[in-house]
Structure 1
């Protein structure tokens, strides 16, 4: 459309002015004018002024000064920074890249600038207001709600500006909030530590939601998941230290507020990098002896679930929470029946029960959960699959045979290849191990030398088809390097034939191989170098 091309530094200067001087409406309408071909007669005068005609209700004269943008003008009523000037700049940009991409870039820049201005205004107003109402540090006699308000105030307006900001936030929280309860008595000090973790988790949710459309979204999501995992690890360490009996006796109100806060976040069904349902169920498991309290919570969940307008994710969260109380009472079948109503079953949501069974060495109960989880594991992430297989390996060791385990591993191939191959080697099922490598077309060069040595010591004949297949695959690649690899494999294959005292079979095999591929001159040369053929 346009052959005029101004220097790159001039284009960058104009883009900068578009970001700062034009409003979004002018930028969008300007692009429409350009897209519809309304920019005509673009020319460069004296190397510093661009002139163009832009058709609107009438034809407007646009002049853009490349040295001083402030001198630029348009014959329209606005006079400058208008849609006609924007259309002309898009026309100039078209010789470098697609103007619609520039429009997207400008939209994003305007959106970020608007958010920053809004955040600064809000933060300034909040700082002015909060100076008049500065909270005192938490005290042991205060309810946890007051602790959380203090936490929020201390980190109000915390902005994420780099990919490590969430990790830095977590460290800042620990450094500034943890020492406050250093001299408190147990178990309140542990409960306070739990609330600091819950605060971090709440903020992770907030950061994760607020930056969904930001250019930093990938880094924020990654950082959120990393810190959420660290919080869950710290939670797992902290939970056994919480003395619920003492909390119920001396700080019942604080405990009630804690369970209410956790329930609020665990049961809302929102997407989150934090495993809120795991936190919720772990805490209630520690309260399983409080029958009246448990029954009240169950009734509350039933009332919430009765709402027919619930979104699927929230309904699922309530189902998982309700089923947990059945598990706590040992009625796994009732829990599984309830969980069949889930709109989406995620394996990771139920590893809590596998771990519990492992701790109590309830192997049959663990197997029941593993069988129930099997359909959802087929679409699980690799880390979840690894956890699933690890628990099943533990359970199968307490069964009369491993037939079911083997069937599961085969059904989940190729994703279970590493678990299955490791198990077969450990169980000394060398024939099945070799068959697995052959079916997955694994080269002996990619296998552990110690594993090959173990099979060789048991029965070298098992390795003959594995090496034979690898040789054939190398030859079929039809290049010199592959032929050299084939000869290397043949050398090892020959050693197995010798060990089996099958020299005649070897001679017949190498003769047939050379004959079958007699037209491959490079292969024949490599075979001669290896002294396999005359």
Structure 2
């Protein structure tokens, strides 16, 4: 099979056209041509056209336009979307994955599409009905459930047809929905903006479920993570602006509906990239002065937790929600005791507290949570580890000494190498810095020249072990390139010994080195070029 590989976006466009323009029998016949090796002389012309020959009863010439598929053509007498064109597209897909799997995905997508069309036909003129039922623009006086209905209607039938569809959906909601509340009273306007984000999160979860069997599933999953991060960033900006006291006093029903929606989405325990639990806890934190609502929600959570099955994600979520109310009451120890029942402890679920304590400069509380999270960090993702170390560095600056933090960094090596080495340089612990490089077998060429110069200015003798180790490792490779690198390190060593006024030590070292490796002829040649041995 020919292996011409067109750009991924062009390939996705062709696959989209196959789903919309081709019938299943045509696709199956196209795959048969590919399977029998009938597609020949496939070429990319002018950057936007694919020219190929398909050998059937006769030779058919196929031209695919990668920008406007309607301009594509085949020399056969069939319709525009013929089996020969399908065969060429399947051939183009081969460098990415197995065409027979794509065929099955397309058949399933076309089947689903056919069922949807039958459903529309059975229910009559759906478009006319939708138009008749179309809601007016949302009002500040309406309940949030009405806003959500309007959002659903505005984006009814939104199609995920390309790689960046999810990100486009997010931006489309922000551009079209958020401005609708620009003239509203401030507290309700902010609540409306929150509901726009909740709508995005809810729809993205739905897109993920609907696209599981689609050829775009990987792109949708990747895009969902991007949108989850965008939503989280927007939430972080929006939450401090929510006037929950005014909402509780003047828009109590709207506030309660919002809490109900959040509870429904956050406490289900579904596996999702959306940070529902984080939004739930952040929102309730804004209601710290609403004791009746807090007590009612706690009681509800306790009842749900009592009915939940142990060692499940849903129970874990309920436990974290219950613990959150204890954290709000500054009962951190009791919260952590409750959280010991978690089936799986993930560091990212608790960065909300670290950030909160950092903003409030509650360093003791932050340190206690950092210590509690320490056992989870060995399996944490690198970004989570980076945040963990950053928070601890902030906390340690106010401690009488940094011994605990240093012990933590050592316990998490090698994952904390960059954080630890940076801290050692910053605190001018050059001996410990050198020991770290030697333990990790880091050659001088991989170290920052500024760091080496700083240590050299302080005490050149500290660098000697690093260069000695590097020389030995290069020689152990036993090839000319490595010997040349060893010579570079030797020149640097000679300069250090000279600077330290130890020429005799250098002479003894180079003599012993040449004697020990006397059988390595190429190395001996390089030592002679350096005029270190006769």
Aligned position for 2:329: 329
**Whole-angstrom distance in 1 between the partners of 2:212 and 2:56:** 44
Q: CA deviation at 1:398?
A: 1.3
Native 8 Å contact 2:309 2:315 kept in 1: no
Specify the SS of the correspondent of 1:187.
helix
Matches within 5 A, 1:315-326: 315-326=315-326
**Whole-angstrom distance in 2 between the partners of 1:119 and 1:161:** 17
Aligned position for 1:110: 107
Specify the SS of the correspondent of 1:306.
helix
Aligned position for 2:178: 178
Structure 1: runs of 5 or more not aligned:
6-14, 32-45, 50-66, 71-92
Q: CA deviation at 1:148?
A: 0.4
Deviations 1:403-426 (A, max 9, x none): 111111111111000001011111
Q: CA deviation at 1:375?
A: 1.0
Q: Do the aligned partners of residues 457 and 303 (structure 1) sit closer, same or farther apart at CA in structure 2, a change above 3 Å counting?
A: same
Native 8 Å contact 2:483 2:526 kept in 1: yes
Q: Do the aligned partners of residues 466 and 68 (structure 1) sit closer, same or farther apart at CA in structure 2, a change above 3 Å counting?
A: same
Matches within 5 A, 1:270-281: 270-281=270-281
Native 8 Å contact 1:228 1:274 kept in 2: yes
Q: Do the aligned partners of residues 369 and 103 (structure 1) sit closer, same or farther apart at CA in structure 2, a change above 3 Å counting?
A: same
Q: Do the aligned partners of residues 290 and 138 (structure 1) sit closer, same or farther apart at CA in structure 2, a change above 3 Å counting?
A: same
Q: CA deviation at 1:310?
A: 6.9
**Whole-angstrom distance in 1 between the partners of 2:196 and 2:254:** 14
Q: CA deviation at 1:19?
A: 6.9
Aligned position for 1:387: 387
Native 8 Å contact 1:298 1:325 kept in 2: yes
Aligned position for 2:165: 165
Deviations 1:40-64 (A, max 9, x none): xxxxxx9849xxxxxxxxxxxxxxx
Aligned position for 1:489: 489
Q: Is 2:143 aligned against 1:139?
A: no
Q: Do the aligned partners of residues 123 and 515 (structure 1) sit closer, same or farther apart at CA in structure 2, a change above 3 Å counting?
A: farther
Aligned position for 2:216: 216
Matches within 5 A, 1:453-492: 453-492=453-492
Aligned position for 1:153: 153
Native 8 Å contact 1:267 1:314 kept in 2: yes
Matches within 5 A, 1:269-418: 269-309=269-309, 312-418=312-418
Q: Do the aligned partners of residues 349 and 241 (structure 1) sit closer, same or farther apart at CA in structure 2, a change above 3 Å counting?
A: same
Specify the SS of the correspondent of 2:307.
coil
Matches within 5 A, 1:36-55: 48=57
RMSD (Å), alpha carbons: 2.9
**Whole-angstrom distance in 2 between the partners of 1:460 and 1:483:** 24
Native 8 Å contact 1:392 1:405 kept in 2: yes
Q: CA deviation at 1:128?
A: 4.0
Deviations 1:425-472 (A, max 9, x none): 111111110010011110111111111111111111110000110111
Which region of structure 1 is more displaced relative to structure 2, 451-460 or 522-531?
522-531
Aligned position for 2:50: none
**Whole-angstrom distance in 1 between the partners of 2:367 and 2:116:** 53
Q: CA deviation at 1:115?
A: 2.5
Equivalent residue pairs, number: 462
Q: TM-score, normalised by structure 1?
A: 0.81
Specify the SS of the correspondent of 1:221.
helix
Q: CA deviation at 1:311?
A: 7.2
Aligned position for 2:73: none
Q: CA deviation at 1:331?
A: 0.5
Structure 2: runs of 5 or more not aligned:
2-17, 36-54, 59-75, 80-89
**Whole-angstrom distance in 1 between the partners of 2:27 and 2:415:** 53
Q: Is 2:24 aligned against 1:20?
A: yes
Aligned position for 2:45: none
Native 8 Å contact 1:471 1:490 kept in 2: yes
Native 8 Å contact 1:19 1:109 kept in 2: no
**Whole-angstrom distance in 1 between the partners of 2:499 and 2:404:** 36
**Whole-angstrom distance in 2 between the partners of 1:212 and 1:311:** 26
Q: CA deviation at 1:215?
A: 2.1
Aligned position for 1:531: 531
**Whole-angstrom distance in 2 between the partners of 1:157 and 1:514:** 77
Q: TM-score, normalised by structure 2?
A: 0.81
**Whole-angstrom distance in 1 between the partners of 2:180 and 2:360:** 37
**Whole-angstrom distance in 2 between the partners of 1:47 and 1:405:** 72
Native 8 Å contact 1:19 1:106 kept in 2: no
Q: CA deviation at 1:118?
A: 3.4
Q: CA deviation at 1:196?
A: 0.8
Q: Do the aligned partners of residues 331 and 488 (structure 1) sit closer, same or farther apart at CA in structure 2, a change above 3 Å counting?
A: same
Aligned position for 1:502: 502
Q: Do the aligned partners of residues 123 and 239 (structure 1) sit closer, same or farther apart at CA in structure 2, a change above 3 Å counting?
A: farther
Q: Do the aligned partners of residues 134 and 440 (structure 1) sit closer, same or farther apart at CA in structure 2, a change above 3 Å counting?
A: same
Aligned position for 1:63: none
Q: CA deviation at 1:23?
A: 11
Q: Do the aligned partners of residues 261 and 449 (structure 1) sit closer, same or farther apart at CA in structure 2, a change above 3 Å counting?
A: same
**Whole-angstrom distance in 1 between the partners of 2:271 and 2:230:** 18
Native 8 Å contact 1:123 1:157 kept in 2: no
Native 8 Å contact 1:514 1:533 kept in 2: yes
Which region of structure 1 is more displaced relative to structure 2, 443-452 or 202-211?
202-211
Q: CA deviation at 1:306?
A: 1.6
**Whole-angstrom distance in 1 between the partners of 2:238 and 2:198:** 12
**Whole-angstrom distance in 2 between the partners of 1:121 and 1:335:** 54
Structure 1 runs of 4+ off > 6 angstroms?
67-70
Q: CA deviation at 1:356?
A: 1.4
